[in-house]
C-alpha cells in the first residue's frame, strides 16, 4: 500500500499510519519494527516526523486467523450491499467493535450474526471508519481486503464524503471552518481536546436552519479524529445539543428569552444530537460514484420538532431535505 502525505503539519509516522489505516499504534509499531514500512524508499522509525510530499510504502502481511466474534442476532439497517462492501445505518447506542463491557453486543457481532463476510486487513475486521456509540448514521463496512485498502487510501486522500447533521447550541455566524488539532485530554483519558500537540483536524460547518436557541448545522469532515465534531463544536462555543461530555453547560449557555426554550430542548434530547447523514465514495471495484443519505433519526425527532417549533417534523420521513440540508452541498 502506498500513501502520500498531503498535510503541511508534521506528525509522527506511527500516529499517521494508525489513523489512516484504522489500526492501533501497537500494530503500526510492529509493522515498522518488522521493516514493513518505508518512507521515500528508506526504512523508518516510529518516531520519524513526516513532511508534505513524503511517500510511504506499507507492506501488509498476511492476516492472522481472525479473533472469534460471538454472533449477535440484532437486526441491522443495511442500505446497500454487494460482494465487496456494505453500508449500514447504525442506530444510537450500538458500539462499533468489541471492547471491555461490550464483547458480544456490537455492530461487528451483529454482522457476524447475519453471516456477513468481513475483511481482515491487518486484523481489523471490516471496520473502515467508526461512529461513537451514541452517534447514529451511515458507515462503510468492507468485506474484502482489496476493498478495505482501496477505501482506506481514498479516506486518507479525503475522497470519501462524510457529512453530519447536528443541533448545536446558539447561532453560528454563517459558514465556519475549524482547523484545530485534536489529542487525548491530558487529564481525562476518556475525553479528547483541542491541543497544539494533537493531530491535524479540520471540520467545515454551515447553517441549515436557525431556531430559537440552537442551529441545525451541516458538518463535513476532512479528517476523522476521535470525537472530532463534538470537540470542534465545543471549541467554537457551540456544543452539540444533548452532549453530556462536551456540552459545556448545555442549555445554561443560553441567556435571555430563549433560555426557557433551551431548557425544554435539553430535557427532550436524550443523547447527542449528531447524525451521520450523508456518505459518498467511489466504489473500490467498479469505480462508480456511490452516494447515500440517512434522514434525521426517529429518536431525535422530538428534539428537532421542539427546536424548530414545528410539530409536523415528528412525522416527516425526509425532515433534513425539507429543511434544506442538501442545498449548496456538493
Active-site residue numbers?
132
Longest dimension (CA), the chain: 63
Where does residue 53 rank: exposed (0-12), middle (13-18), buried (19+ CB within 10 A)? exposed
Pairwise CA distance, residues 319 & 310, whole Å:
11
CB atoms within 10 A of CB 233: 30
The DSSP code for 63 is: P
CB atoms within 10 A of CB 309: 10
CB atoms within 10 A of CB 190: 8
Question: Are the C-beta atoms of 156 and 20 separated by less than 8 Å?
Answer: yes
What phi and psi values does residue 208 have, to the nearest 5 degrees?
A: -95, -45
| Contacting residues for 27 by C-beta, under 8 A, at least 6 apart | 18, 122, 123
Q: What is the β-pairing status of strands 161-169 and 274-282? A: antiparallel
Alpha helices in the chain (DSSP H): 13-20, 25-33, 107-113, 145-156, 228-235, 259-268, 301-307, 319-322
User: What residues pair up with 192 in beta bridges, in sequence order?
Assistant: 184
C-alpha cell at 97: 467493535
Pairwise CA distance, residues 208 & 195, whole Å:
29
Pairwise CA distance, residues 171 & 167, whole Å:
10
User: What residues pair up with 77 in beta bridges, in sequence order?
Assistant: 89
The DSSP code for 6 is: -
Amino acid at each position: 500500500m502506498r500513501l502520500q502525505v498531503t498535510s503541511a503539519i508534521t506528525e509522527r509516522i506511527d500516529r499517521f499510519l494508525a489513523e489512516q489505516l484504522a489500526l492501533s499504534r501497537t500494530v503500526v509499531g510492529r509493522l515498522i519494527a518488522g521493516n514493513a514500512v518505508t518512507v521515500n524508499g528508506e526504512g523508518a522509525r516510529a518516531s520519524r516526523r513526516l513532511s508534505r510530499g513524503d511517500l510511504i510504502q506499507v507492506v501488509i502481511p498476511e492476516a492472522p486467523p481472525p479473533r472469534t466474534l460471538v454472533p449477535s442476532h440484532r437486526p441491522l439497517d443495511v442500505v446497500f450491499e454487494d460482494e465487496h462492501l456494505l453500508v449500514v445505518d447504525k442506530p444510537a447506542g450500538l458500539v462499533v467493535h468489541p471492547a471491555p463491557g461490550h464483547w458480544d453486543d456490537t455492530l461487528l457481532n451483529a454482522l457476524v450474526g447475519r453471516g456477513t463476510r468481513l475483511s481482515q486487513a491487518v486484523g481489523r475486521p471490516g471496520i473502515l471508519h467508526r461512529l461513537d456509540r451514541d452517534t447514529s448514521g451511515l458507515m462503510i463496512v468492507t468485506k474484502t481486503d482489496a476493498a478495505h485498502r482501496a477505501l482506506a487510501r481514498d479516506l486518507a486522500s479525503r475522497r470519501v464524503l462524510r457529512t453530519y447533521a447536528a443541533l448545536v447550541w446558539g447561532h453560528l455566524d454563517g459558514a465556519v471552518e475549524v482547523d484545530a488539532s485534536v489529542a487525548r485530554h491530558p487529564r481525562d483519558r476518556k475525553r479528547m481536546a483541542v491541543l497544539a500537540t494533537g493531530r491535524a483536524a479540520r471540520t467545515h460547518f454551515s447553517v441549515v436552519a436557525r431556531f430559537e436557541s440552537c442551529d441545525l448545522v451541516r458538518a463535513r469532515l476532512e479528517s476523522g479524529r476521535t470525537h472530532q465534531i463534538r470537540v470542534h463544536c465545543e471549541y467554537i462555543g457551540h456544543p452539540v445539543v444533548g452532549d453530556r461530555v462536551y456540552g459545556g453547560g448545555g442549555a445554561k449557555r443560553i441567556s435571555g428569552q430563549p433560555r426557557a426554550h433551551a431548557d425544554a430542548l435539553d430535557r427532550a434530547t436524550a443523547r447527542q444530537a449528531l447524525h451521520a447523514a450523508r456518505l459518498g465514495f467511489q466504489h473500490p471495484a467498479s469505480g462508480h460514484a456511490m452516494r447515500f443519505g440517512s434522514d434525521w433519526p426517529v429518536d431525535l425527532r422530538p428534539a428537532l420538532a421542539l427546536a424548530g417549533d414545528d410539530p409536523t417534523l415528528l412525522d416527516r420521513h425526509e425532515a433534513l431535505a425539507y429543511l434544506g440540508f442538501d442545498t449548496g452541498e456538493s
